[in-house]
Structure 1
Amino acid sequence: MGKAFMISFEEAKELLLKEISLAKIENYEVNTSRGLITALSILSPIDSPPFNQAAVDGYAFRIKDLKKFKCLKICGESTAGKVFEGKCESGNCIRIFTGAAVPDSLDTVVMQEHVTVRQEEMIPDNENITRGSNIRYRGSQIRKREIAIPKFERITSGSIGLLYSLGITTVRCFKKPAIAVIVTGNELIAPGKDLEEGCIYESNSFMLKSVLNEHGFEDISIFHAADNLQNTIEIFKEASKEHDFVLFTGGISVGDYDFVGKALSNQKVQAIFYKVKQKPGKPIYFGMKNKKVIFGLPGNPASVMVCFYEYVLPALYRSMGYPTPFAKEMLLPVNGNYSKKSGMVHFLRAYTDLRTVTILEGQESYKLLPFCKANCIVVIDEEVVEVKEGDHVRVQMVNHLN
């Protein structure tokens, strides 16, 4: 199952980038596209603004008329959505409001606070008005057929606003994957039922579904596999039919009742790697079959969460077209000391105020309590054996893309 030796964290990341292929392209309604990556450059179908537009409430006129006339006669008005259709003769001006169309024959707008109005005549208080003042010119934001949003760009709330302002209602993006979570373990009891002796409550599926939802993934199905080879195979076959990603929790080690590796081998899944030099989450499995992505995550909940952030989430983002899917990192001074043996990278649940970072108590792989308080993960490199207070350490924000 996989390589016969453990690989480094950096090697695992390189393999992830190499093996994950882009998802298929689909049409999405703009209002459902936040967080997706554009598969094609989006061209503007119109000039924006689509006409010369007043930037303030005030009066529109020709700048040359100020040199001929001390005051300008108000001959009409232009409001947002209602264009002035008359003719503004020399020596005249029109009342205009923010967002309204400026007639092509006029070239300047003065704010209403900077004029005096007497008997339907407008007198500017300031003679140093320049041509083009307070006008948003047609196409000054973007011209028709120019690129509004380039390919491989993440759709944000701002993007959605821009697209709708251009009259665009659908976009072509890389598909958001459908995800199956397969829970293994005969000792697991559904929360709410009486806890039998030797059993524990199942929490990994709820935790994974929640963190996937938190990152914008909604198409999630939960499966349960008994601790036997045939059932694990059947559940995997069912789950992989309609899902792009399959996440096993538990059953990936080599114990007598660990059947995930055997089931994946039986189903001719290509094992890319198995076991990484890390703590927690050493026995992580990554494989591929027919462009479907399969992860075997450890059963201990803290290991599940660490492996989710370090591998599963980047793999999901990679398939969606994110050019840099891994967590962004910063260097911060650490509060307190930490020591470990060389040979493994350590992922430590921590809390940061963005000035310093504190490694939390209870780093064992079965303990979830630190994740209730953590807002980041501290990464201690493989070769490092001691970190002293004040040393700078690598810090990954848990919500690194939000």
Structure 2
Amino acid sequence: MNTPVLEPPVGAPPQDTCAIFDTDPSPAEAVERLCAHIQPTPCETVPLRAALGRCLAEPLPAPMAFPPFTRAMMDGYALRAAEVEPGAQWHVLDEVIAGQIADKPLPAHTALRIATGAPLPIGADTVLRQECAQRFGQTLRGLLPRIVLGKDTEAIGSVTAVGDLLISAHSPLLPTDLAKAARHGISQLSVHRPARMALLIIGNELTPAGSPLPSGHLYEHNALLIESTLDQHRLGQIIHTAAVKDDLAAIDQAIGSARAQCPDLLILIGGTSVGTHDFTRRALSRHGQPLFEGVHTRPGRTACASVTDNGLVLLALPGSPKAVHALLESILLPTLRFMQGQPIS
């Protein structure tokens, strides 16, 4: 007996489908599609501490040489290397410490007691370490037969010359980068501002942590996962959050309210599957053109995205904790890095 083929009633609305095939983009390809419709955030000038983890839009050249003077790198005596020979002696004139400058050039066959970091006096080109000399009152005797010119000194501009590349663009600024900027007299940097995102958490069964848990409900935790991950990586801030029921009109209205906040990216969590009470992908289609309707990955195959007529990207992720965590790493974080000046990796 043949099994009859069931046809939908005439005039019945089509059922939701989830068109996910092997031709759906990989996570990396999904990121490329998203970034094709996203512009890096504009730049703002901030104090150095506030620039940590953010990206320069342009390479930063050194505005000054470093060190700005030739300096001693060891405690000892500043003198001329050419005068160092067996039996050589020098008359010790004075002492100079870090932050001081010798008030006159160094005469021949004289030496100046010098501390690490102090500028070499004019006429001196080398530091004779204190353990390589003997001093008797104002008379200094060297214990080395010769010394290399410039020994235990750091020449002006030997670390950085004016105009040298100080900090590269498009990479998150590290504490060492900030210290390097400060060392060259820079107190502020122009960096991409943090991305501003709106976040909609969709689901009838979700209850805020700390509230009594109704039967059949779960505590909502994906918002915390996303916000804390953004904080950890310094990749932006959530400027608008809303909990939304599994209702097409409610989701549609929530998207409109979120768009009014002018976010750089709108993220929706939940309702991306094909059940009779999953409305997120249908709501996305009302607000823009689809960028992808599935991703070739598990977990997270039902992730989808669209772009509005004014260029706002809407990215919807499944509500499964495993899917959210996986897509955070493979899609959302790479997209946010691009938004804040980093290249697509």
Q: Deviations over 1:239-261 (max 9, x none)?
A: 23232122111012232322222
Q: Which amino acid aligns with 2:51?
A: S
Any gaps of 5 or more consecutive residues in structure 2?
1-15
> Is 1:176 the equivalent of 2:194?
yes
Contact 2:197 2:265 in 1 (8 A): yes
Secondary structure of the residue aligned to 1:279 is coil
Q: Which amino acid aligns with 1:145?
A: G
> Is 1:297 the equivalent of 2:317?
yes
Contact 1:12 1:273 in 2 (8 A): yes
**Counterpart position of 2:57:** 39
Aligned counterpart in structure 2 of residue 223 of structure 1, from 242, 246, 253: 242
Contact 1:2 1:271 in 2 (8 A): no
Which structure has more RCO (C-alpha within 8 Å, separation ≥ 6)? 2
Task: Choose 288-297 or 5-14, whichever is displaced more.
Answer: 5-14
Q: Which amino acid aligns with 2:209?
A: P
Q: Which amino acid aligns with 2:161?
A: R
Secondary structure of the residue aligned to 1:172 is strand
Contact 2:18 2:302 in 1 (8 A): no
Shift of residue 203 of structure 1?
A: 1.1
Shift of residue 67 of structure 1?
A: 4.7
Contact 2:86 2:142 in 1 (8 A): no
Return the structure number with greater strand share: 1
Secondary structure of the residue aligned to 1:271 is strand
Aligned counterpart in structure 2 of residue 243 of structure 1, from 256, 263, 266: 263
Aligned counterparts of 2:59 and 2:138: Cα–Cα separation in 1: 50
Aligned counterparts of 1:105 and 1:70: Cα–Cα separation in 2: 17
Secondary structure of the residue aligned to 1:278 is coil
Q: How does 1:93-112 map to 2 (within 5 A)?
A: 93-112=111-130
The number of residues matched between the two structures is 324
Aligned counterparts of 1:135 and 1:291: Cα–Cα separation in 2: 57
Aligned counterpart in structure 1 of residue 149 of structure 2, from 131, 140, 156: 131
Aligned counterparts of 2:17 and 2:215: Cα–Cα separation in 1: 35
Aligned counterparts of 1:293 and 1:156: Cα–Cα separation in 2: 29
Shift of residue 324 of structure 1?
A: 4.2
Q: Which amino acid aligns with 1:320?
A: Q
**TM-score where L is the length of structure 2:** 0.87
Aligned counterparts of 2:300 and 2:207: Cα–Cα separation in 1: 23
**Counterpart position of 2:330:** 310
**Counterpart position of 1:262:** 282
**TM-score where L is the length of structure 1:** 0.75
Aligned structure 1 segments of 4 or more residues deviating by more than 6 angstroms: none
Shift of residue 41 of structure 1?
A: 1.6
**Counterpart position of 1:361:** none
Aligned counterparts of 2:253 and 2:141: Cα–Cα separation in 1: 84
Contact 2:202 2:244 in 1 (8 A): yes
Task: Choose 287-296 or 200-209, whichever is displaced more.
Answer: 287-296
Aligned counterparts of 1:174 and 1:5: Cα–Cα separation in 2: 36
Aligned counterpart in structure 1 of residue 107 of structure 2, from 89, 92, 100: 89
Contact 1:178 1:245 in 2 (8 A): yes
Q: Deviations over 1:318-370 (max 9, x none)?
A: 11221243xxxxxxxxxxxxxxxxxxxxxxxxxxxxxxxxxxxxxxxxxxxxx
Shift of residue 3 of structure 1?
A: 9.4
**Counterpart position of 2:206:** 188
Aligned counterpart in structure 2 of residue 208 of structure 1, from 214, 226, 229: 226
